[in-house]
């Protein structure tokens, strides 16, 4: 989002530079820094269970941001994002296992490899749009998934591949506590880079392609280049997210990267807010936490009389799945701009309390 929707009274921006800052006020910047500092202290007092959820949010959030750049900012569509996520995971494990490249370097390298694959898959985007592009990316999802299951030399075939834990200078990040910092670092770098990309010339070109491709072309934006570039950037994020996932879990298997995960990625950015950097993270957090919160609610109800009834206990897995579907539908109806928009409204409400103008 270039520029800010609402300007406060007495605020004047006299340069484009001031209009496109990431943080509109010094306080918002301080809060962001404070937020990171608080997050960094989490491993000191949080249980591994919560750290695990936060790590999940981090690596999925990185991949979701990639998809948001493609879908939210460039207006393309991809139903194959999880295949890129998986490719990154396999590529990083392979580079490390077979070529002995340290995990530290294997992760960004895997990202670059995934970029290359993503750009190849994105080539049809230069010619086709909308539903047709959706089906083209769906094809890539299936082709890559089948490749994962068969390419024994690369992925270990159906048995999957082991992935070594992340390590630098002989220190191994193999616990939730230590890997949290790896994930947090990657998350911050990815999101700062993402926010800056959108402020750049290329980022504006993405948005122009989305808003009106004809006008964009007339203004000199090379549509084919930017569409394919967008696929590349999006795949890079997916690849890095996937590589982090692989080295965190310690094992990569073809099963995790099915069409369902691709659709969940789409759900994350729709719930979080299409075309919003922070929205991608909010949506990911929502999608990761929703099943856990449901689980918690269910076990609370399980302690009541009717909650331990057989029909209820048996129905719980379905209710959990249904809740995710329901959440997406409700968001589409009541909050089409996603959590990011809702967050802005909440901020505005408190800023202007009690007299909104």
CB of 49 to another protein, least distance (A): 7
- Residues present in the chain in total: 357
35 contributes a contact to another protein by CB under 8 A:
no
Q: 213-272: which residues touch another protein (CB under 8 A)?
A: 249-251, 253, 255-256
Quickly count: other Cβ atoms within 10 Å of residue 343's Cβ: 16
* 317 binds another protein per the rule CB under 8 A: yes
Q: Which is nearer to another protein, 179 or 236 (CB)?
A: 179
Residues 6+ apart with CB under 8 A from 141: 79, 80, 82, 83, 259, 262
Cβ nearer to another protein, comparing 24 with 256? 256
160 lies in the site for another protein, by CB under 8 A: yes
With CA atoms as reference, report the closest residue to 54 among 229, 217, 201, 248. 248
Q: Which stretch binds another protein (CB under 8 A): 129-137, 155-163, 263-271, 272-280?
A: 155-163
What φ, ψ does residue 303 adopt, rounded to 5°? -80, -10
Map the footprint of another protein across residues 165-204, applying CB under 8 A: 176
Q: State both tokens at 257.
A: 């990267």
Q: How many residues bind another protein (CB under 8 A)?
A: 18
| Residues 200, 283 contacting (CB under 8 angstroms) | no
Q: Is 149 one of the binding residues for another protein (CB under 8 A)?
A: yes
SS3 326: helix
Between CA 181 and CA 19 the distance in angstroms is: 32
- Min dist CB 52 to another protein, Å, is 7
92-102 burial, b for 16+ CB within 10 Å, e for fewer?
bbbbbeeeebe
Give the shortest CB-42-to-another protein separation in angstroms: 18
Using the minimum distance from each CB to another protein, give the nearer residue, 43 or 75: 43
Tell which one of 29, 127, 150, 225 touches another protein (CB under 8 A).
150
DSSP 251: E
* CB of 28 or CB of 159, closer to another protein: 159
Answer yes or no whether residue 157 interacts with another protein by CB under 8 A: yes
Rounded to the nearest whole angstrom, what is the least distance from the CB of residue 264 to another protein in the complex? Answer: 14
Q: What span, in angstroms and rounded, lies between the C-alpha atoms of 297 and 319?
A: 11
**Which residues in this chain contact another protein in the complex, by CB under 8 A?**
48-49, 52, 149-150, 157-160, 162, 176, 249-251, 253, 255-256, 317
């Amino acid at each position: 989002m270039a520029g800010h929707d609402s300007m406060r009274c007495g605020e004047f921006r006299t340069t484009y530079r001031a209009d496109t800052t990431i943080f509109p006020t010094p306080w918002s910047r301080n809060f962001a820094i404070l937020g990171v500092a608080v997050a960094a202290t989490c491993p000191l007092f949080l249980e591994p269970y919560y750290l695990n959820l936060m790590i999940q949010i981090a690596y999925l959030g990185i991949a979701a941001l990639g998809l948001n750049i493609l879908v939210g900012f460039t207006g393309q569509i991809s139903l194959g994002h999880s295949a890129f996520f998986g490719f990154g995971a396999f590529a990083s494990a392979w580079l490390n296992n077979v070529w002995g490249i340290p995990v530290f370097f294997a992760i960004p390298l895997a990202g670059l490899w995934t970029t290359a694959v993503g750009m190849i898959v994105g080539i049809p985007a230069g010619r086709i749009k909308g539903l047709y592009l959706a089906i083209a990316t769906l094809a890539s999802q299936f082709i890559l998934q089948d490749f994962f299951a068969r390419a024994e030399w690369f992925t270990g075939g159906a048995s999957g591949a082991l992935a070594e834990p992340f390590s630098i200078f002989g220190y191994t990040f193999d616990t939730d506590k230590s890997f949290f910092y790896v994930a947090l670092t990657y998350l911050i770098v990815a999101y700062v880079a993402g926010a800056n990309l959108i402020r750049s010339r290329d980022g504006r070109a993405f948005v122009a392609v989305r808003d009106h491709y004809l006008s964009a072309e007339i203004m000199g934006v090379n549509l084919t280049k930017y569409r394919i570039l967008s696929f590349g950037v999006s795949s890079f994020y997916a690849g890095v997210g996937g590589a982090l996932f692989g080295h965190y879990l310690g094992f990569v298997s073809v099963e995790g990267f099915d069409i369902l995960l691709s659709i969940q990625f789409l759900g994350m950015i729709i719930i979080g807010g299409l075309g919003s950097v922070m929205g991608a993270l909010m949506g990911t957090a929502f999608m990761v936490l929703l099943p856990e919160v449901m689980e918690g609610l269910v076990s609370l109800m399980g302690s009541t009389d009717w909650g331990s009834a057989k029909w209820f206990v048996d129905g719980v897995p379905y209710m959990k799945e249904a809740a995710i579907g329901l959440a997406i539908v409700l968001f589409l109806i009541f909050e089409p701009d996603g959590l990011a928009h809702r967050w802005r409204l909440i901020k505005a409400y408190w800023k202007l309390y009690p007299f909104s103008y």
